[in-house]
């Protein structure tokens, strides 16, 4: 069964999740905390979760070679984005939004250096946000990172449905495969989904015991 | 111009071909254009630029995208405005557009949608002295300011290249495919040559090239038939491959058999609304635009019976849409080139 959520289910699950993880009693809980609920400034029914966390470079002194860059597309260094050379800690804005198309929670984010410059896609793959092995076999352009065998990019640029900001988005198609009646499947999907801390997105779904 | 049945087969259909009326509306949608006035920010004009000539006018296809206009704009600036030294310093990846009102223009939105969104945004601002229309739908050039540096990267998608635009576009086609059928088999079943070809049709603004591929994924309004006559020998007709089951082929691709019509609703300065839009209602009747709007925006489109003044209007491709238009038909005949039915709602004056 494909797992989808109604707007009401999503809203309730998110707010329950936020409330449940307000207190920090362990390192695991710490990774799930810090979220707040946001609404569109004029219209109801467009709420989402948001938080800001600090990240680091996965290998600050090394040059990663996991990522195969599409040779036909230049990764342009125009000086307006931060590079891996920066030793600074990184600020990550994270959002969990209900995908209107796939009806599943979708993870949007942006990462900025201390200067405020956003990271390019290739440098984002080198941060502590994503597991190291996630990039293996992927092909990257300035717009997206894709596994050749999949229909949708694993990671791509996107627009926050409510706030209209330019962000990066993990493919919501991965979340579509999660079944509410298969907790093992949920945990496997958690591991697949770029190793995000605590499988946040799937925690939201699993908590509600969702069904179509 | 190849004939798609609009002249030789007007009003007629064959089992697996597209009705002439469908093709007519698809062509009308495709050929829509909007006037743009593009002016370089005067503060960013390089030294020795020919000031006074930094304004460029273009009648842009609605189905096209701003990154696809960049080469033409750059040629103009290089030929007329900038001196050679300044021209060499130009970095198109740092260019960005905003409207006169300061609205950031999105690379991944079709130009027609940008224009219509500007129109409906104007509907909630104080009317200009020259505006007397109830709907304020005068076709005037959309005045854009072209900035040459320092793009607001936190608000704009990065890398405004044609290739990035293509990837964003293909993503929209796949989403639309998923909305219709619950999977993306029709899109992923396209050969690489076809996937590239549909984008080339957009780039070159070639109706035939675009629909040669799009006809394989966009639903048709052809009526279901109990028997299948021989396929037409006219190579210019939109012909679908004959199915092993002739009776199921027209039904399978019929616009009224989709799971949901890919529709997005744009409000002035508001978020984009998207919901499940079934082609038919629970009683089996066709889902019409008026029903869709009165369900999702009851305060602007009060359900019948309502006898008060008109509060808002719905626009697609710059034209007012009849309230009894069927959503399935709109999805087949008046969707944008990205597969989406984009309904822009403006406030009536």
**ipTM for the complex shown:** 0.81
In this predicted structure, what is the pLDDT of residue B7? 35
Distance CA A160, CA A164 (A): 5
Q: Determine the structural domain holding residue B54 and report its residue range.
A: 31-154
Question: B135 touching A, CB under 8 A?
Answer: no
List CB contacts of B132: < 8 A, sequence separation 6 or more.
none
Q: Is residue B76 part of a domain?
A: yes
Partner residue facing A142 (CB), from B159, B267, B271: B159
- Distance set, CA B236 to CA A39, B114, B209, B223, B343 (Å): 51, 32, 11, 20, 31
- Is B298's Cβ below 8 Å from some Cβ in A? no
pLDDT in tens, B115-134: 999 999 988 887 665 555 55
What pLDDT score was predicted for residue B248?
54
Q: What is the mean pLDDT of chain B?
A: 84
Please list the helix, strand and coil fractions of chain B in percent, rounded to the nearest 5, in that order.
35, 15, 50
Let me know: does A94 contact A53? Beta carbons within 8 Å: yes
**Which among A109, A159, A169, A212 is the top mutation candidate for probing chain B, defined by the most B β-carbons within 10 Å of its own β-carbon?**
A159
Which of B171, B268, B269, B276 to mutate against chain A (most A CBs within 10 Å)?
Answer: B171
Instruction: Judge whether B255 lies within some domain.
Output: no
Mutation site, A157, A163, A173, A174, interface B, largest B CB count within 10 A: A157
User: pLDDT tens, B54-112?
Assistant: 789 999 999 999 999 999 998 888 888 787 777 777 888 889 999 999 988 998 999 99
Residue B178, in any domain of the structure: no
Chain B residues touching residue A80 (CB < 8 angstroms): 94, 150-151, 153
Quick: pLDDT tens for A97-150.
999 999 999 999 999 988 888 888 888 888 888 887 777 788 888 788 888 777
Q: Report the C-alpha gap between A6 and B321 in whole angstroms.
A: 29
- Residue B331 falls inside a structural domain: no
pLDDT above 50 for B154 = yes
Sequence-ordered list of residues with C-beta below 8 angstroms from that of B199, at least 6 positions apart, any chain: B166, B169, B170
> Is B95 contained in some domain?
yes
B150: left (phi over 0), alpha (psi -120 to 50) or beta: left
Decide if A24 contacts A30 (C-beta within 8 A): yes
In the block, which residue shows the tokens 């499947």? A185
Q: How far separated are the first and last CA of chain B, in Å rounded?
A: 41
Residue B311: inside a domain: no
Average pLDDT over residues B149-173: 83
Q: Which residues of B touch A117 (CB under 8 A)?
A: 153
Q: What is the largest CA-CA distance in chain B?
A: 72
**Residue A7 or residue A61, greater confidence:** A7
pLDDT of A189 higher than 50: no
Q: Is residue B304 part of a domain?
A: no
User: Exposed, middle or buried by CB within 10 Å (0-12, 13-18, 19+), for B133?
Assistant: exposed
Q: Which residues of B touch A166 (CB under 8 A)?
A: 153-158
Partner-chain contact B151 A80, CB within 8 Å: yes
Interface residues of A toward B, Cβ cutoff 8 Å, are 40, 42-43, 46, 73, 76, 78, 80-81, 100-102, 110, 112, 117-118, 120-121, 141-144, 151-153, 156-159, 161-162, 164-166
**CA count, 13 A, side-chain hemisphere, B37:** 9
User: Which residues partner with B173 through β-bridges?
Assistant: none
- Nearest residue of A to residue B109, measured between CA atoms: A159
**Residue B192 maps to a domain:** no
Q: Which comes out higher in pLDDT, residue B46 or B238? A: B46
- Banded model confidence at residue A206, pLDDT cuts 50, 70, 90: low
State how many domains chain B has: 1
Tell me the CATH number at B126. Answer: 3.10.20.620
H or E element at residue A41: none
């Amino acid at each position: 069964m494909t797992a989808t959520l109604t707007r009401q289910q999503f809203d309730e699950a998110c707010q329950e999740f936020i409330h449940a993880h307000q207190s920090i009693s362990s390192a695991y809980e710490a990774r799930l905390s810090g979220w707040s609920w946001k609404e569109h400034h004029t219209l109801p029914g467009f709420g989402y979760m948001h938080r800001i966390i600090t990240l680091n470079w996965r290998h600050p002194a090394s040059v990663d070679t996991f990522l195969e860059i599409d040779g036909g597309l230049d990764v342009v260094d125009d000086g307006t984005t931060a590079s891996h050379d920066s030793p600074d800690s990184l600020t990550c804005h994270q959002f969990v939004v209900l995908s209107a198309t796939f009806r599943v929670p979708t993870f949007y984010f942006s990462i900025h250096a201390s200067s405020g410059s956003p990271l390019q896609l290739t440098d984002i793959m080198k941060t502590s946000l994503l597991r190291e092995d996630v990039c293996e076999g992927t092909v990257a352009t300035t717009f997206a990172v894709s596994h050749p065998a999949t229909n949708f990019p694993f990671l791509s640029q996107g627009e926050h449905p409510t706030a209209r900001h330019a962000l990066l988005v993990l493919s919501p198609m991965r979340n579509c495969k999660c079944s509410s009646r298969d907790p093992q499947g949920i945990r496997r999907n958690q591991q697949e989904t770029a190793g995000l801390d605590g499988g946040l997105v799937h925690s939201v779904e699993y908590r509600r015991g969702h069904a179509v | 111009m190849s004939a798609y049945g609009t002249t030789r087969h007007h009003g007629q259909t064959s089992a697996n071909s597209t009705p002439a009326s469908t093709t007519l509306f698809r062509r009308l949608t495709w050929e829509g254009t909007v006037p743009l006035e593009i002016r370089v920010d005067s503060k960013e004009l390089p030294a020795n630029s020919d000031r006074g000539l930094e304004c460029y006018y273009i009648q842009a296809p609605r189905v096209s995208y701003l990154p696809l206009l960049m080469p033409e704009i750059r040629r103009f600036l290089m030929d007329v405005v900038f001196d050679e030294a300044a021209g060499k310093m130009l970095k198109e990846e740092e260019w960005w557009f905003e409207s006169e009102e300061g609205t950031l223009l999105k690379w991944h939105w079709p130009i027609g949608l940008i224009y219509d969104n500007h129109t409906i945004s104007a509907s909630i601002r104080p009317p200009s002295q020259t505006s007397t229309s109830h709907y304020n739908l005068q076709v005037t050039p959309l005045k854009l300011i072209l900035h040459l540096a320092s793009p607001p990267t936190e608000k704009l998608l990065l890398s405004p290249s044609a290739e990035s635009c293509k990837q964003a576009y293909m993503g929209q086609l796949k989403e639309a495919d998923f909305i219709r059928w619950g999977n993306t088999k029709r899109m992923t079943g396209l050969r690489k040559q076809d996937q590239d070809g549909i984008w080339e049709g957009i780039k070159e603004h070639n109706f035939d090239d675009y629909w040669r591929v799009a006809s394989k994924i966009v639903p048709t309004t052809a009526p279901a038939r109990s028997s299948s006559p021989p396929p037409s020998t006219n190579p210019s007709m939109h012909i679908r491959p004959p199915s092993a089951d002739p009776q199921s082929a027209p039904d399978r691709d019929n616009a009224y058999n989709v799971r949901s019509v890919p529709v997005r609703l744009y409000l002035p300065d508001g978020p984009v609304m998207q919901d499940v839009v079934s082609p038919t209602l629970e009683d089996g009747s066709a889902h019409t635009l008026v029903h869709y709007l009165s369900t999702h925006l009851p305060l602007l489109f009060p359900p019948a019976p309502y006898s008060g003044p008109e509060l808002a209007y719905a626009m697609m491709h710059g034209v007012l849409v009849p309230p009894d238009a069927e959503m399935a038909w709109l999805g087949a005949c008046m969707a944008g080139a990205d597969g989406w039915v984009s309904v822009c709602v403006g406030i009536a004056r």
